[in-house]
Amino acid sequence: MTVPGGVGTAEHIAVTQRLTNEQRTLLKRAGEAERRVWKLYPDPVARVLAIEIRAYIEMGHRFEQAGRTNKLIDHILAEPIVRS
């Protein structure tokens, strides 16, 4: 899981690279989705989704504009977290 402000987070990437505001927003949304996925899905599924999102945060945001990972992030952020 991501440590807020740690290496690989949107904040770290934004400091070490020149990003547009749109890219910064996408990375913040991806970080939020990566944290939420653990609350929404059981461990094996959450792990796979978190790995996919982490890869997007670290490299994929440079290459993928409106692809599958962005759709995955939108879906995760739209899902309500059900408290039991």
Q: Give the whole-angstrom CA distance, residue 53 versus residue 49.
A: 6
pLDDT band of residue 2 (cuts 50, 70, 90) is: very low
CA proximity to 33, closest of 64, 66, 2 = 2
State the DSSP string of 17-78.
S---HHHHHHHHHHHHHHHHHHHHS-HHHHHHHHHHHHHHHHTGGGT-SSSHHHHHHHHHHH
pLDDT of 15 higher than 60: no
Tens digits of residue pLDDT in 23-42: 888 889 999 999 999 999 99
Provide the pLDDT for residue 20.
Answer: 82
**Least confident stretch, 6-10, 23-27, 46-50, 80-84:** 6-10
